[in-house]
Amino acid sequence: QVQLQESGPGLVKSSQTLSLTCTVSGDSVKSYDYYWSWIRQPPGKGLEWLGYIYASPNTYYNPSLKSRLSISVDTSKNQFSLMLTSVTAADTAVYYCARNPVGYDFYYMDVWGKGTTVTVSS
Amino acid sequence: QSALTQPRSVSGYPGQSVTISCIGTISDIGGYNFVSWYQHHPGSAPKLLIYDVTKRPSGVPGRFSGSKSGSTASLTISGLQAEDEASYFCCSYAGPDTFELFGGGTKLTVL
Protein backbone atom coordinates (compact mmCIF):
# COMPACT_ATOMS: atom_id res chain seq x y z
CA GLN A 1 0.00 0.00 0.00
CA VAL A 2 1.42 3.34 -1.04
CA GLN A 3 2.04 5.88 1.70
CA LEU A 4 3.30 9.45 1.53
CA GLN A 5 4.78 11.27 4.52
CA GLU A 6 5.67 14.96 4.61
CA SER A 7 8.52 16.22 6.78
CA GLY A 8 10.27 19.49 7.43
CA PRO A 9 10.59 22.38 9.85
CA GLY A 10 7.36 23.56 11.43
CA LEU A 11 8.63 27.11 11.76
CA VAL A 12 10.39 29.23 9.16
CA LYS A 13 11.43 32.86 9.46
CA SER A 14 10.09 35.42 7.07
CA SER A 15 12.26 35.98 3.95
CA GLN A 16 13.95 32.60 4.38
CA THR A 17 13.53 29.41 2.33
CA LEU A 18 11.02 26.72 3.19
CA SER A 19 12.14 23.17 2.43
CA LEU A 20 9.87 20.15 2.73
CA THR A 21 10.33 16.51 1.82
CA CYS A 22 7.81 13.83 0.93
CA THR A 23 8.94 10.26 1.56
CA VAL A 24 7.21 7.68 -0.63
CA SER A 25 6.81 4.08 0.52
CA GLY A 26 5.27 1.29 -1.49
CA ASP A 27 6.03 2.91 -4.85
CA SER A 28 8.91 4.51 -6.73
CA VAL A 29 9.33 8.19 -7.50
CA LYS A 30 11.16 7.03 -10.65
CA SER A 31 7.97 5.49 -11.99
CA TYR A 32 6.60 6.87 -15.26
CA ASP A 33 3.15 5.99 -13.99
CA TYR A 34 2.82 8.99 -11.67
CA TYR A 35 3.22 12.70 -11.25
CA TRP A 36 4.14 13.83 -7.72
CA SER A 37 2.36 16.89 -6.35
CA TRP A 38 2.51 19.51 -3.63
CA ILE A 39 -0.65 21.21 -2.37
CA ARG A 40 -1.20 23.54 0.58
CA GLN A 41 -4.05 24.86 2.71
CA PRO A 42 -3.64 28.21 4.51
CA PRO A 43 -5.54 28.56 7.78
CA GLY A 44 -9.25 29.02 7.17
CA LYS A 45 -8.86 28.80 3.39
CA GLY A 46 -9.20 26.28 0.62
CA LEU A 47 -6.59 24.09 -0.99
CA GLU A 48 -4.04 25.55 -3.38
CA TRP A 49 -2.18 23.45 -5.94
CA LEU A 50 1.53 24.32 -5.90
CA GLY A 51 3.08 22.13 -8.56
CA TYR A 52 4.13 18.66 -9.67
CA ILE A 53 7.10 16.78 -11.04
CA TYR A 54 7.14 13.94 -13.54
CA ALA A 55 9.99 11.70 -14.63
CA SER A 56 12.38 14.30 -13.24
CA PRO A 57 13.14 16.92 -14.26
CA ASN A 58 9.79 17.72 -15.83
CA THR A 59 8.16 20.23 -13.47
CA TYR A 60 4.96 22.25 -13.62
CA TYR A 61 4.24 25.10 -11.22
CA ASN A 62 1.39 27.29 -10.08
CA PRO A 63 2.03 30.47 -12.08
CA SER A 64 1.55 32.64 -8.98
CA LEU A 65 4.44 30.86 -7.23
CA LYS A 66 6.63 29.93 -10.17
CA SER A 67 9.35 32.49 -9.40
CA ARG A 68 9.80 31.20 -5.82
CA LEU A 69 9.04 27.49 -6.10
CA SER A 70 11.18 24.50 -6.97
CA ILE A 71 10.24 20.80 -6.88
CA SER A 72 12.83 18.06 -7.19
CA VAL A 73 13.22 14.31 -6.79
CA ASP A 74 15.83 12.30 -4.88
CA THR A 75 15.61 8.82 -6.35
CA SER A 76 18.24 7.42 -3.95
CA LYS A 77 15.95 8.19 -1.01
CA ASN A 78 12.66 7.72 -2.89
CA GLN A 79 11.64 11.24 -1.95
CA PHE A 80 10.51 14.39 -3.64
CA SER A 81 10.97 17.86 -2.23
CA LEU A 82 9.66 21.39 -2.29
CA MET A 83 11.66 24.58 -1.87
CA LEU A 84 9.88 27.90 -1.54
CA THR A 85 12.05 30.99 -1.30
CA SER A 86 11.43 34.40 0.26
CA VAL A 87 8.53 33.19 2.40
CA THR A 88 6.05 35.53 4.07
CA ALA A 89 3.18 35.04 6.49
CA ALA A 90 0.98 34.25 3.48
CA ASP A 91 2.94 31.00 3.07
CA THR A 92 1.77 29.75 6.47
CA ALA A 93 -0.24 26.62 5.69
CA VAL A 94 -0.60 22.88 5.98
CA TYR A 95 1.46 21.42 3.15
CA TYR A 96 0.44 18.13 1.54
CA CYS A 97 2.22 15.88 -0.91
CA ALA A 98 0.21 13.66 -3.23
CA ARG A 99 0.40 11.27 -6.16
CA ASN A 100 -1.25 11.78 -9.57
CA PRO A 101 -1.65 8.57 -11.59
CA VAL A 102 -0.93 8.82 -15.31
CA GLY A 103 -3.66 7.29 -17.41
CA TYR A 104 -6.24 8.94 -19.62
CA ASP A 105 -5.15 12.06 -17.71
CA PHE A 106 -3.20 12.89 -14.59
CA TYR A 107 -5.29 15.70 -13.21
CA TYR A 108 -6.32 14.13 -9.92
CA MET A 109 -4.55 12.94 -6.76
CA ASP A 110 -5.27 9.39 -5.68
CA VAL A 111 -2.99 9.19 -2.63
CA TRP A 112 -2.20 12.00 -0.20
CA GLY A 113 0.00 12.46 2.83
CA LYS A 114 -1.48 13.64 6.10
CA GLY A 115 0.12 17.05 5.77
CA THR A 116 2.64 19.05 7.74
CA THR A 117 2.01 22.45 9.29
CA VAL A 118 4.39 25.27 8.45
CA THR A 119 4.27 28.61 10.20
CA VAL A 120 6.18 31.61 8.90
CA SER A 121 7.27 33.90 11.71
CA SER A 122 8.54 37.42 11.55
CA GLN B 1 -7.15 32.62 -11.98
CA SER B 2 -9.65 32.51 -9.10
CA ALA B 3 -10.40 29.44 -7.10
CA LEU B 4 -13.55 27.48 -7.79
CA THR B 5 -16.61 28.49 -5.76
CA GLN B 6 -18.17 26.12 -3.27
CA PRO B 7 -20.76 26.73 -0.54
CA ARG B 8 -19.04 27.08 2.81
CA SER B 9 -21.37 24.58 4.47
CA VAL B 10 -24.19 22.13 3.83
CA SER B 11 -26.08 19.84 6.16
CA GLY B 12 -28.46 16.92 6.11
CA TYR B 13 -29.98 14.19 8.22
CA PRO B 14 -28.82 10.59 8.15
CA GLY B 15 -30.31 8.79 5.17
CA GLN B 16 -30.91 11.97 3.21
CA SER B 17 -29.08 13.17 0.12
CA VAL B 18 -27.01 16.32 -0.19
CA THR B 19 -25.44 17.97 -3.21
CA ILE B 20 -22.37 20.17 -3.11
CA SER B 21 -21.83 22.52 -6.01
CA CYS B 22 -18.54 23.73 -7.46
CA ILE B 23 -18.79 26.71 -9.77
CA GLY B 24 -16.08 27.52 -12.25
CA THR B 25 -15.73 29.03 -15.71
CA ILE B 26 -15.31 27.98 -19.30
CA SER B 27 -11.55 28.05 -18.65
CA ASP B 28 -11.69 25.24 -16.11
CA ILE B 29 -14.77 23.15 -15.31
CA GLY B 30 -16.62 24.22 -18.43
CA GLY B 31 -13.69 23.52 -20.73
CA TYR B 32 -12.51 20.12 -19.52
CA ASN B 33 -13.95 16.91 -18.09
CA PHE B 34 -11.26 16.75 -15.44
CA VAL B 35 -13.09 17.48 -12.20
CA SER B 36 -12.19 15.61 -9.03
CA TRP B 37 -13.63 15.60 -5.52
CA TYR B 38 -11.93 14.93 -2.20
CA GLN B 39 -13.15 14.18 1.31
CA HIS B 40 -11.08 15.53 4.18
CA HIS B 41 -11.43 14.64 7.84
CA PRO B 42 -9.31 16.93 10.06
CA GLY B 43 -5.91 15.46 10.81
CA SER B 44 -6.21 12.81 8.10
CA ALA B 45 -5.03 12.60 4.53
CA PRO B 46 -7.58 13.85 1.99
CA LYS B 47 -9.33 11.01 0.15
CA LEU B 48 -10.17 10.89 -3.55
CA LEU B 49 -13.89 10.32 -4.09
CA ILE B 50 -14.51 11.19 -7.74
CA TYR B 51 -12.26 11.86 -10.74
CA ASP B 52 -12.90 12.79 -14.37
CA VAL B 53 -16.28 14.25 -13.29
CA THR B 54 -18.09 10.97 -12.71
CA LYS B 55 -15.58 8.15 -12.12
CA ARG B 56 -15.33 6.52 -8.73
CA PRO B 57 -12.09 4.83 -7.55
CA SER B 58 -12.42 1.30 -6.28
CA GLY B 59 -13.38 1.27 -2.63
CA VAL B 60 -15.44 4.46 -2.74
CA PRO B 61 -19.10 3.69 -1.99
CA GLY B 62 -21.68 4.17 -4.71
CA ARG B 63 -23.40 6.70 -2.45
CA PHE B 64 -20.93 9.24 -3.81
CA SER B 65 -21.55 10.46 -7.34
CA GLY B 66 -20.35 13.31 -9.49
CA SER B 67 -21.82 15.28 -12.37
CA LYS B 68 -21.27 18.42 -14.40
CA SER B 69 -23.46 20.90 -16.21
CA GLY B 70 -21.74 23.70 -18.08
CA SER B 71 -19.23 25.27 -15.72
CA THR B 72 -20.74 23.81 -12.55
CA ALA B 73 -19.75 20.47 -11.11
CA SER B 74 -21.65 18.72 -8.36
CA LEU B 75 -21.00 16.02 -5.79
CA THR B 76 -24.03 14.16 -4.50
CA ILE B 77 -23.91 12.07 -1.37
CA SER B 78 -26.96 9.86 -0.93
CA GLY B 79 -27.93 7.88 2.17
CA LEU B 80 -25.98 10.23 4.44
CA GLN B 81 -24.06 8.57 7.25
CA ALA B 82 -22.47 10.07 10.34
CA GLU B 83 -18.98 9.32 9.02
CA ASP B 84 -19.65 11.50 5.99
CA GLU B 85 -19.27 14.57 8.21
CA ALA B 86 -16.13 16.13 6.77
CA SER B 87 -14.92 18.84 4.41
CA TYR B 88 -15.24 18.32 0.67
CA PHE B 89 -13.08 19.95 -2.00
CA CYS B 90 -13.50 20.08 -5.74
CA CYS B 91 -10.63 20.43 -8.17
CA SER B 92 -10.49 21.06 -11.91
CA TYR B 93 -7.84 21.11 -14.57
CA ALA B 94 -7.64 24.66 -15.89
CA GLY B 95 -5.44 24.44 -18.94
CA PRO B 96 -1.69 24.25 -19.63
CA ASP B 97 -0.86 27.56 -17.95
CA THR B 98 -2.83 27.31 -14.71
CA PHE B 99 -3.00 23.50 -14.43
CA GLU B 100 -5.06 22.78 -11.29
CA LEU B 101 -7.64 24.86 -9.40
CA PHE B 102 -9.28 23.90 -6.14
CA GLY B 103 -12.51 25.06 -4.57
CA GLY B 104 -12.62 26.72 -1.18
CA GLY B 105 -14.10 23.63 0.45
CA THR B 106 -17.52 22.76 1.88
CA LYS B 107 -18.09 21.60 5.45
CA LEU B 108 -20.75 18.89 5.58
CA THR B 109 -22.61 18.49 8.85
CA VAL B 110 -24.69 15.37 9.45
CA LEU B 111 -27.46 16.48 11.78
Q: Using omega within 30 degrees of 0 as the cis cutoff, is the peptide bond preceding A57 cis?
A: yes
pLDDT at position A14 over 60:
yes
Question: Distance from CA of residue B43 to its chain's centroid?
Answer: 19
Q: Inform me whether the C-beta atom of residue A44 falls under 8 Å from chain B C-beta atoms.
A: no
Q: What is the DSSP string of chain B?
A: -PPBB--SEEEE-TT--EEEEEE--TTTTTT-S-EEEEEE-TTS--EEEEBTTTB--TTS-TTEEEEEETTEEEEEE-S--GGG-EEEEEEEE--TTT-EEEB--EEEEE-
CA distance A62 to chain B (A): 6
Model pLDDT for residues B62-79, shown as the tens digit of each residue? 999 999 999 999 999 999
Average pLDDT over residues B89-109: 95
Q: Which of A60, A110, A112 sits opposite B99 (nearest CB)?
A: A60
Which pLDDT band holds residue A56 (cuts at 50, 70, 90)?
A: confident
- For residues A76-98, average pLDDT: 97
Residue with the bigger pLDDT between A103 and A9: it is A9
Q: Report yes or no: B76 and B67 within 8 Å, Cβ to Cβ.
A: yes
B1 pLDDT band, cuts 50/70/90, is low
Task: Check if B70 contacts A (Cβ < 8 Å).
Answer: no
- Please state the separation of Cα B64 from the chain's center in Å: 10
> Is A9 a residue whose pLDDT tops 70?
yes
Contacts of A45 in chain B (CB under 8 A): 104
Amino acid at A5: Q
- Check residue B2 and give its pLDDT: 66
User: CB A96 to CB B47 under 8 A?
Assistant: no
CA separation for the pair A81, A6 (Å, rounded): 9
Report whether B60 contacts B77 (CB < 8 A): no
Across residues A37-60, what is the average pLDDT?
92
Between CA B80 and CA A64 the distance in angstroms is 38
pLDDT in tens, B11-30: 999 999 999 999 999 999 99
Q: What is the mean pLDDT of residues A5-17?
A: 96
